[in-house]
């Protein structure tokens, strides 16, 4: 999910300023569970483990918070999370930065040990890394932290952590809601009710609907895809999975080819990453395989669908679709998708919004606590050979 640009708002107080006398508790807020073992070598801890015991402010590692717009951090670290973070690390000036190139940023980089990043963070270039010789970790309040690096190989000696799993959950929840509403033909029912404005006999008008015994096809066992599969277990639905790189049986579902999935499914939901293999993966031929009245849901990326072919199918009235992403995103004002029938289109809201951003902040604070206590992050990205 991309951060929405909005006017900067003045801060009456630096977000991460440490109150006078504020000390980090001796492990009270630190998750004590261990991570899985790995045979790969790892970077040195950000700080030594003795720092867990009531460090003075001068003993806290220095950290920069870099995301844009700056007030995004107010939402991510709301509900006391900013104060928790300030107990763990020193954020120079307590401010949120939107760049890594200004004179102010460059003046503090030599002491920085942790970068805390989010949407809108500029690329982490070799020049930035050279200016930050003490940097040991990047904790990203978003997907893969490695994507922030202009040269990913330059990150191989750093701890990289991300909030991909916490952000996958609301996408999966959105998907489940849309699957169930598609089974009820909720948008069609609303349209019919508004047109007639009178009693509707459900057994006649909605005999084609329901979520008992319907077939849902999931394309891609990504982080979101796996969350969707987990949540679908609570419903009386048949679930198919197409992902040639995983064992579907190990996930408790039936693995099928894409062709079979498109033919058998009442609802198809897309969760594959964008690669050379998946761009345009759902094209005219694949859409033609869907049965009349089927619903296609896309919360992945717009590039995985042939949008022109989808427009043609929607204009014919044969299919329904739910799109939270598009190409481009957002669409231009004159794009035909704005006008086609049987389409629910939302402005990239499936990912974390509003209160859900605090889930990302909670994850980031917990990961920083692990680093400060001398342990590796729970979510540890592997970039190249360590």
pLDDT tens string 330-380: 999 999 999 999 999 999 999 999 999 999 999 999 999 999 999 999 999
Distance CA 43, CA 40 (A): 10
Burial of 1 (0-12, 13-18, 19+ CB in 10 A): buried
Which has the closest alpha carbon to 226: 243, 210, 212? 243
Of 28-42, 89-103, 251-265, the range with the highest mean pLDDT is 251-265
- What average pLDDT score do residues 165-182 get? 98
More confident residue, 270 or 70: 270
For the domain covering 212-345, report its CATH number: 3.40.50.720
Share of the chain above pLDDT 70, in %: 84
Distance CA 47, CA 113 (A): 9
Q: Is the dihedral of CA 27, 33, 34, 35 positive or negative?
A: negative
The predicted pLDDT at position 4 comes to 39
The predicted pLDDT at position 15 comes to 75
Decide if 1-163+353-386 and 212-345 have a common fold.
Answer: yes
More confident residue, 49 or 117: 117
The predicted pLDDT at position 56 comes to 55
Cβ(270)–Cβ(298) below 8 Å: yes
Name the CATH superfamily for 1-163+353-386: NAD(P)-binding Rossmann-like Domain (3.40.50.720)
Taking the CA atoms of the chain, what radius of gyration do you get in angstroms?
Answer: 24
Residue 192 CA from chain centroid, whole number: 35
- What average pLDDT score do residues 200-224 get? 97
The predicted pLDDT at position 34 comes to 31
Minimum mean pLDDT range among 8-17, 119-128, 151-160, 331-340: 8-17
Distance CA 251, CA 231 (A): 12
Query: Taking 70 as the threshold, does the pLDDT of residue 68 lie above it?
Result: yes
Give pTM, 2 decimals: 0.85
Q: Which residues contact 271 (CB under 8 A, 6 or more apart)?
A: 175, 218, 219, 220, 221, 222, 224, 225, 228, 299, 300
Phi (first) and psi of residue 290, to 5 degrees: -65, 140
Q: Parse the chain into domains and list their residue ranges.
A: 1-163+353-386, 212-345
The predicted pLDDT at position 17 comes to 66
- What average pLDDT score do residues 9-36 get? 43
Which has the closest alpha carbon to 144: 114, 112, 167? 167
């Amino acid at each position: 999910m991309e951060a929405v640009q909005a006017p900067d708002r003045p801060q009456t107080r630096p977000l991460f300023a440490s109150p006078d006398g504020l000390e980090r508790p001796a492990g009270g807020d630190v998750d004590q569970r261990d991570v899985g073992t790995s045979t790969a070598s790892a970077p040195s801890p950000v700080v030594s483990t003795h720092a867990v015991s009531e460090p003075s402010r001068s003993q806290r590692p220095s950290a920069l918070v870099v995301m844009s717009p700056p007030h995004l951090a107010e939402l991510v670290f709301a509900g006391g999370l900013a104060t928790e973070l300030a107990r763990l690390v020193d954020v120079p000036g307590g401010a949120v930065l939107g760049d890594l190139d200004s004179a102010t940023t460059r003046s503090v980089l030599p002491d920085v040990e942790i970068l805390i990043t989010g949407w809108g963070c500029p690329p982490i270039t070799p020049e930035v890394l050279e200016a930050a010789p003490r940097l040991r970790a990047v904790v990203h309040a978003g997907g893969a932290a490695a994507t922030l690096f202009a040269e990913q190989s330059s990150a191989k000696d750093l701890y990289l952590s991300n909030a991909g799993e916490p952000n996958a959950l609301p996408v999966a929840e959105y998907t489940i809601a849309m699957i169930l509403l598609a089974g009820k033909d909720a948008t069609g029912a609303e349209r019919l009710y508004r047109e007639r404005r009178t009693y509707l006999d459900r057994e006649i008008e909605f005999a084609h609907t329901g979520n008992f015994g319907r077939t849902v096809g999931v394309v891609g066992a990504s982080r979101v895809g796996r969350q969707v599969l987990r949540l679908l277990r609570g419903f009386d639905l048949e679930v198919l999975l197409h992902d040639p790189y995983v064992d579907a049986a190990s996930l408790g579902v039936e693995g099928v080819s894409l062709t079979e999935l498109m033919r058998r499914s009442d609802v198809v939901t897309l969760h594959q990453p964008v690669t050379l293999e998946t761009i345009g993966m759902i094209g005219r031929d694949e859409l033609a395989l869907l049965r009349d009245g089927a619903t296609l849901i896309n919360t992945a990326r717009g590039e995985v669908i042939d949008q022109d072919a989808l427009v043609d199918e929607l204009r014919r009235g044969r299919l329904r679709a739910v799109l939270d992403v598009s190409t481009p995103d957002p669409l231009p004002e004159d794009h035909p998708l704005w006008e086609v029938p049987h389409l629910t289109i939302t402005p990239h809201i499936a990912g974390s919004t509003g209160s859900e951003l605090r889930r990302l902040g909670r994850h980031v604070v917990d990961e920083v606590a692990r680093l400060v206590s001398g342990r590796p992050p729970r979510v540890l990205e592997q970039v190249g050979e360590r």
